[in-house]
Amino acid sequence: MAEQKQRFTVKVGEKEIELTDEVLETLYEYVHTAMPLEKLAEKLGLESWEEAYEFIKNIPAWILWIPPSMWKHRRKLVQSAQ
Q: Please indicate, yes or no, whether the overall pTM of this predicted structure exceeds 0.75.
A: yes
Range of the domain at 18: 9-81
Asked whether residue 1 carries a pLDDT value surpassing 70, the answer given is: no
Q: What is the pLDDT of residue 52?
A: 97
pLDDT category at 2 given cuts 50, 70, 90 is very low
In this structure, is residue 3 part of a structural domain?
Answer: no
* Averaged pLDDT, 59-79: 81
In this structure, is residue 73 part of a structural domain?
Answer: yes
In this structure, is residue 4 part of a structural domain?
Answer: no
The overall average pLDDT reported for the chain is: 87
Burial of 37 (0-12, 13-18, 19+ CB in 10 A): middle
Q: Count the Cβ atoms, other than its own, within 10 Å of residue 64.
A: 14
In this structure, is residue 1 part of a structural domain?
Answer: no
pLDDT digits (tens, 9 = 90+) for 16-28: 999 998 999 999 9
Determine contact, residues 9/47, Cβ cutoff 8 Å.
no
